Amino acid sequence: MTISKIQLIPFKLEEISEELVDYIPYGIEMVNAPSFWQETKGEDVVVAVLDTGCDLSHPDLADRIIGGRNFTSSDRDDYSDSHFHGTHVAGTIAASSNGQGVIGIAPESKLLILKVLDENGSGSYEGIIDAIHYARTWRGPNQEKVRIISMSLGGPNDVPELHNAIKLAVKAGILIICAAGNEGDSSERTDETAYPGFYNEVVQVGAVDENKNLARFSNTNGEIDLVAPGVNILSTYPGSKTAKLSGTSMAAPHVSGAVALIINKTEKKYGRTLTEPEIYEYLRKNTVSIGLSRKAQGNGLLFLQVDKQKKKKRNE
């Protein structure tokens, strides 16, 4: 395979703060995660995050990390974040409910940190392919398996080896969630594509703002599966800090965390392991239309549906 590079999908760093306050970011509220926490917080569902690594000592993340590996250098055991993007993504998925800092969508899920991008946000296709294979075969200390792969990265090239790795992971029961890309031109009539998000086998996530308007940068195309908050998203940042970032890179981890909640709740209910197609179908059911075209919103905005009977009892 010809050696080539893949990079972080462009994003915008809006603000950095050294203040750690007990705070639920607006995106977590928008997708209705707090109502879901009465049933599950994603206990022990493992999400593999393929990104720039993670701040392993961040107080909101340290107890969520179950393991990791570095695919950008010979030091395989150093999967700390030499950038900041991966730490931010990880926090949206699983930042702990510990009374300080921010909280993630699935605050009791587990993170497998697979560093595939360096301090410049760049990595090789080979590294990402190897990381996907690693996630597929990884087993935790109690024989845990990866259930979700989250990738907020992309490139313009359709690489068959990458596609094949994704197909194998999906066949193994892993749901793969990818950012759509930020080449959008504010028009739903034009298509913008980035890989691996554009592959049919993955869940491709576009971005909306706090008012549920499609983010001007969000890619639109026929493979969009759903949209999630991706503008001014507050999450964890290296050095025990928080930061606000914007991009479809921030929308994808909202979905990754939500899927951890869906898996935990549904498998408890039915007492069996869901297949990848079943997980996707349950995700699709947890969306609502926001009035955009299919190429812009896919199935709609992520919105976690709380069991109506249980909700009625709580209100009685």
What local confidence, expressed as pLDDT, does residue 74 receive? Answer: 84
pLDDT, residue 240, reads: 92
Residue 20 confidence (pLDDT): 59
For the chain, which residues score pLDDT lower than 50? Answer: 1-3, 309-316
Annotated active-site residue in 118, 249, 254, 256: 249
How far apart CA 264 and CA 260 sit, in angstroms, is 6
Is position 51 annotated as part of the catalytic site? yes
Please report the pLDDT score of residue 189 as a whole number: 80
Parent domain of 209: 5-315
pTM over 0.85: yes
For residue 3, the model assigns a pLDDT of 44
CATH number of the domain residue 278 falls in? 3.40.50.200
What is the tally of structural domains in the chain?
1
Q: What pLDDT digit, counting tens, does each position of 243-279 carry?
A: 999 999 999 999 999 999 999 999 999 999 999 999 9
pLDDT at position 268 is 94
pLDDT of residue 313: 42
Catalytically annotated residue among 51, 81, 118, 209: 51
Catalytic status, residue 130 = no
Which class for 123: exposed (0-12), middle (13-18), buried (19 or more C-beta within 10 A)?
buried
Instruction: For strands 153-154 and 65-70, give the pairing.
Output: unpaired
- Other C-beta atoms within 10 Å of 13: how many? 14
Is 246 designated active site? Answer: no
> Which member of 85, 96, 150, 235 is catalytic?
85
Length of the chain: 316
> Residues 166-184: pLDDT tens digits?
999 999 999 999 999 998 8
